[in-house]
Structure 1
Amino acid sequence: MIPASFDYFRPSTLDEALEVFAGAGEEAKVLAGGQSLLPLLRLRLAYPTAMVDVGRVAELRGVADRGDHVHIGATTTHDEVVRSPIVREHCPLVALATATVADPAVRHRGTFGGSLAHADPAGDLPAVALALDMVFVVRSSTGDRTIPAADFFLDYLESALQPGEILTGVRVPKLGPGWGFHYEKFHRTAQAWATVGVAAAVRQTNGTVEEVRVGLTNMGPTPVRAAGVEAAARGVEAGRNGSLRQAAEQAAEGTDPPADLHAQPDYRKHLARVLTHRALVSASAHRSPQT
């Protein structure tokens, strides 16, 4: 299909982008990699009056070590995130999950911030953002503000971004030694959205699980934090498969998975339990050294 008509702007600086975006009206959209937005335009599921292409804005791109966190610029491509030594060292769960996004062609064009701002619960990165307590940095003509990941995803394809605001980057806290990470995903093909995905982070001391974080992909209208699993896994022996399996049984608690051509809610709940167990086992087995 052919998208509805809109005005197109391609600023070269962030200040210029903010000025254009502020004057373009509430129905304006930001275009980064376009891998999520363009399909919506073609299907006429989105009708922006204006498109602000931020692909030339160098200030929005790159990965930086900021001491207690890693800053990932909004227009940094998925491929750049996966290949970044800083990301691999300090937030490996981000690299693991980003490497599963779609296929190489999409990862070379799609952007880290664009995927998160799109707020699709079937996307891989929103669940990771929840599990790692990422912080979203946004800017408007009136200044900057930060939004915790727990407050960013409001509903299906709806985020806490306000009209005139542009996501400039994401802060990923460094969790430090003793943590293990894994992203487990079930999908039909490499290009398909996850039927269900699980982002898991496990911190253990002397073989005992001290802290667990679990984010679920495609288990509701927003990404879900599996609080039941986190509580049940705390204090168990990391090497005891049965204990982790029992904790994983809480994965579907409080979820509202969708029904579509690929899976019904009960099947997604079953997958959530199975994949959570696998993710916990893998995260427990692969952790950074203690200090």
Structure 2
Amino acid sequence: MKPAPFDYHAPGTLAEAVGLLASLENAKLLAGGQSLVPMMNFRYLLPDHLIDLNGIAELAGITLLGDRLRIGAMTRQRELEFSAIVAQRCPLLKEALAHVGHRQTRNRGTIGGSLSHFDPSAEQPTVCAAHDAVVEIASPGGTRRVPFAEFGLDFMTTAVGPDEVLSAIELPLWSPGHGWGFHEFARRRGDFAIVASAALIERDGSGRIARASVTLAGTGTGPLRLPRLEDALVGTVPEAGALAEAAELAGEIDAVSDIHASGDYRRHLARVLTGRALADAARRGG
């Protein structure tokens, strides 16, 4: 299959892209194209206009801003995967990216494209949920900032409006020395996860858990934070028994059933993978 006919636009600035999006009917934004182009080829999507964001330099880049990491929406996944700043200050993102597609897709795929596509099994939205990210969205009326907890509205549906462009992501960083873990189960390496689990842990001076974040992917319409499990971890010593007991709570979620796995199987995976992610986070956190 090949895509239906469309008009191609290549803006050089974010303002120009926003203007085109506001003035053209049935327009789609092209970031990395790793999801959009196949959908166009199969004619699941039939845009009349394609607005290519690849020539907009201001939409790419990785910047450390104190205790926040700012990532331009057009930053390639491969650049994030090998960024020294990401490895040092946001290692959960680096670990999760190793599960995203294959080298060829990461060479072109962008973080903004992944968030906008908002597949419920995707790794990058899961990391953003774990870090309580803030998403920056540009529109003809200016720029607004959306907490990631309010970003996903439904299955593959986000808060980005039809005349808006996701321009950047800011990740609040955890303290140096925190622990992290990411585990997923997929049918084949590079496939979307059946279930994935991301964990972050900070310890206090006595070695007990002072702060925790646990997020699941693949169980519903988007990333799922587990505040009850996080609260159960705070104040405990991160030993095997306590971590395993907390991981059991991940199996009490409501999980979807589909052609890939039943809800019961997803709950089983949630327990197992969360236990592994927490064990890694405890081992790595000092």
Q: Same fold (TM over 0.5)?
A: yes
Name the amino acid aligned to 1:252.
Answer: G
Select between 202-211 and 162-171 the one with higher mean Cα deviation.
Answer: 202-211
2:266 equivalent in structure 1: 268
Counterparts of 1:102-117 in structure 2, within 5 Å, are: 102-117=101-116
1:43 partnered with 2:32: no
Deviation sequence 1:204-245 (CA, Å, 0-9, x none): 12321121101111110111112222122222211x211111
How far apart are residue 263 of structure 1 and its match?
Answer: 1.6
Count of aligned pairs between the two proteins: 285
1:256 Cα offset (Å) = 2.8
Q: Which residue of 2 aligns with 1:63?
A: 62
SS in 1 for 2:235: coil
Q: Map of 1:189-200 to 2, 5 A cutoff? A: 189-200=188-199
Query: Are 2:33 and 1:23 equivalent residues in the alignment?
Result: no
Match of 1:90 in 2: 89
Q: Deviations over 1:74-121 (max 9, x none)?
A: 011001001111111111111111122111001101001110111111
Letter in 2 for 1:196: V
2: distance between equivalents of 1:48 and 1:131? 33
Letter in 2 for 1:114: G
Q: Which residue of 2 aligns with 1:150?
A: 149
Q: Which residue of 1 aligns with 2:282?
A: 284
Letter of the structure 2 residue corresponding to residue 85 of structure 1: A
Which residue identity does 2:271 align to in structure 1?
R
TM-aligned CA deviation for residue 178 of structure 1: 4.2
How many angstroms does 1:198 deviate by?
0.7
Give the residue type in structure 2 aligned to 1:194. Answer: A
Aligned partner letter, 2:126: A
Q: Distance in 2 between matches of 1:264 and 1:256?
A: 8
Q: Does 1:13 align with 2:13?
A: yes
Distance 2:19 2:187 in 1: 43
When the two chains are superposed, the root-mean-square deviation of aligned CA atoms in Å is 1.4
Q: Distance in 2 between matches of 1:48 and 1:228?
A: 43
Shift of 1:15: 1.6
Secondary structure at the aligned position of 2:250 is classed as: coil
C-alpha distance after superposition, 1:11-52 (max 9, x if no partner): 122121111111113x32111001111222222222323211
Distance 1:199 1:62 in 2: 24
Work out the CA distance in 2 between the residues paired with 1:41 and 1:258: 27
| Counterpart contact for 2:99–2:190, Cα < 8 Å | no
3-state SS of 2:220 partner:
coil
The aligned amino acid for 1:265 is G
- Provide the C-alpha distance between the structure 2 equivalents of 1:269 and 1:125, rounded to a whole number of angstroms: 21
| Unpaired stretches in structure 2, ≥5 consecutive residues | none
Read off the aligned partner of 1:43 and give its amino acid letter.
F
Amino acid at match of 2:140: S
SS in 2 for 1:51: strand
How far apart, in 2, do the equivalents of 1:258 and 1:183 lie? 23
Secondary structure in structure 2 of the residue aligned to 1:251: helix
How far is the alpha carbon of 1:273 from its aligned partner?
0.4
The 8 Å contact of residues 255 and 266 in structure 2, kept in 1 or not, is answered as no
Deviations for 1:147-190, whole angstroms, at most 9, x for unmatched residues? 11100011111000012110111001121134211111111222
SS at match of 1:72: strand
SS in structure 1 at match of 2:211: strand
2:175 and 2:202 in contact (8 A); partners too: no
The verdict on how the C-alpha distance between 1:258 and 1:76 changes in structure 2, with shifts beyond 3 A counting, is: farther
Q: Encode CA deviations 1:46-67: one digit per residue, 9 max, x unaligned.
A: 2323211101110101101112
Letter in 2 for 1:137: E
Aligned-pair identity in percent equals 40
- Do the aligned partners of 2:253 and 2:267 also contact (CA within 8 Å) in 1? no
CA distance in 1, matches of 2:257, 2:23: 37
Aligned to 2:4: 4
1:213 counterpart = 2:213:
yes
CA contact (8 A) 1:257 1:269 kept: no
5+ residue gaps, structure 1, are none
Separation in structure 2 between the aligned mates of residue 51 and residue 274 of structure 1, nearest angstrom? 42
Task: Give 2:122's aligned residue.
Answer: 123
Letter in 1 for 2:79: E
The Cα shift of 1:286 comes to 0.5
